[in-house]
Amino acid sequence: MADAVVIGGGAAGLMAAGTAASQGLDVALMEPNEKLGRKLRITGKGRCNVTNDCDNKTWLENVPTNPKFLYSAAAAFPPPAAMAFFESLGVPLKTERGGRVFPRSDNANHIADALARWVKAQGVCHVRNRVQSVALDDAGAVRAVVTDRGEIPCKAAIVATGGLSYPATGSTGDGYAIAAALGHNIAPARASLVPLESPAAYCAELAGFAPRNVDLTAYENGKVIYTERGELLFAHFGVTGPLVLSASAHMRRWGDSAYKLAIDFKPALTPEKLDERILRDFEKYQNRDIANALVDLLPRSMIPVVLRLADIPAHTKIHDVTRAQRQRLGAVIKAFPVPVSGPRPVAEAIVTGGGIDVKQIDPRTMRSKLVPGLYFAGEILDVDAYTGGFNLQIAWSTGRCAGLAVGKELCP
């Protein structure tokens, strides 16, 4: 028997469980994994971009799906409050480019461990049962959580099971089935913040190459929808890395729109300055083939690919390179084309888009409008954001909102 059962020991579930327990409730946290916050421990390449050092206006501008739903939760627990919370747990933070906030240690485990210690200190009981459903009483209100080891009677349940991304961490979509069985509409799950596949064979040829300080521009039907400077990674299937994940969040009409990427490998140089640089290198290596005259300008792995795209034979002598060829070379370096055929599977996404229809949830409390005593928090909701710590902030704010609301309902 528990006052409240929280289903899911990720970011939102931990915040909800600790918040509810801090108000004097008997809280059971259902999480099959031995370690709490398993997905949290691998976010941000193991560094954990815990939030963004910004105001609510900026945060919600980075939430393309149902941002208005978050107004109340954001007002109650904005990014500065989240930063203060983790500092209070003994995790020093730092702010990097774009307002991205990380633990000063660059270790995501320090965030997850601090949360685990906090919920334990609040008296939360970690139960490793797998939840199968939520049982209702004759009045249609929550009466118990049904697990693979029997029922746990409770007065309220908070579903914070995440989406479908990284299923090995426990995000297997169980929460969608639980919600649907109780009458909730589910927006189809889709990959958000996901690597991108490309039909271009040269992506596989460049696999492992990770250029930094490049500009990536994404196009939808020929129109620019995203541009940013940073780093990315070529892979056997296409491209990934921070810039690509960010760009993917803007690609939301697969099947209806055509997408492509362009990489500027020399963003600090105008086309004219780049041409001057190429001419200097040509003068320096005037007796070489062009393939051996670009070693100061480009990584060796890139040279054959760039020359093919510029339609310049690799063994062309420098003194035979025409002005038109040189201009094509510069154009490829400034706008290296990466056609996009689609996203990688949702299991590889950092964040899952889609989820519980927020019209069926009270935004002030995260409580279901259909089932008394039922709450939702985190990635399971049909709310997602761009990269930069904004998605984890959704988890913190909605988790805290649900935990507070359960406390008010059960401890009026």
On the question of pLDDT at 172 being above 80, the answer is: no
* pLDDT of amino acid 166: 57
- Select 2-189+348-410's CATH number: 3.40.50.300, 3.30.70.1230, 3.40.109.10, 3.50.50.60: 3.50.50.60
Model confidence at 350, pLDDT cuts 50, 70, 90, reads: confident
Question: How far apart, in whole angstroms, are the C-alpha atoms of residue 252 and residue 299?
Answer: 33
Nearest residue to 188 (alpha-carbon basis) of 258, 255, 260: 255
Give the count of alpha carbons within 13 A of 134, CB side only. Answer: 34
Among 5-19, 184-198, 208-222, name the one with the lowest average pLDDT: 184-198
Average pLDDT, the chain: 94
On the question of pLDDT at 226 being above 70, the answer is: yes
Question: How far apart, in whole angstroms, are the C-alpha atoms of residue 340 and residue 320?
Answer: 34
C-beta of residue 165 within 8 angstroms of C-beta of residue 352 = yes
pLDDT tens column, 351-365: 888 899 999 999 999
On the question of pLDDT at 174 being above 80, the answer is: yes
- State the average pLDDT over residues 277-301: 94
* pLDDT of amino acid 170: 52
Beta strand 351-356 with 186-192 is antiparallel
On the question of pLDDT at 266 being above 70, the answer is: yes
Model confidence at 193, pLDDT cuts 50, 70, 90, reads: confident
User: For a pLDDT cut of 70, what percent of the chain falls above it?
Assistant: 98
Does residue 166 or residue 308 have the better pLDDT? 308
pLDDT tens column, 32-50: 999 999 989 988 889 999 9
Helix (H) / strand (E) containing 272: helix 271-284
Give the 3-state DSSP-derived string for 387-411, with helices as H, strands as E and coil as C. Answer: CCCHHHHHHHHHHHHHHHHHHHHHC
- State the average pLDDT over residues 139-156: 96
- State the average pLDDT over residues 107-119: 97
Per-domain residue ranges for the chain? 2-189+348-410, 195-343
pTM: 0.88
What are the two backbone dihedrals, phi and then psi, of residue 174, each rounded to the nearest 5 degrees? -60, -35
* pLDDT of amino acid 173: 75
